[in-house]
Structure 1
């Protein structure tokens, strides 16, 4: 699974970090990033829910 973040499109709502806190975090200005190793540890279901929770579709998940 590959997670792609559109950092320019992210508005910092934090829904991804609330949905999958082991995968996503926000930097000092609220822009999302993927935590190192987070995608390997988290359930795919949570990652997909975080993708859907993003109000601006700044997260894209692609199955390998």
Structure 2
């Protein structure tokens, strides 16, 4: 298993980083509208900043 020292963002921090509402991010995950690669640890959801950056880049290319 590969270890990655990249810190994980909780849903609130990820939403702030993307400048969307926490509820919007939750809906995107639930409906799989965008593939943000959420990591589920028990009931907690975390995101890698690199995955969020990839998402932003994809949106800019559209």
Same structural fold, with TM-score higher than 0.5 when normalized by the shorter chain: no
> Which structure exhibits the higher relative contact order, with contacts defined as CA atoms closer than 8 Å and separated by 6 or more residues?
1
| Larger relative strand fraction | 1
TM-score, length of structure 1 as denominator length: 0.31
Greater C-alpha Rg: 2
| Larger relative helix fraction | 2
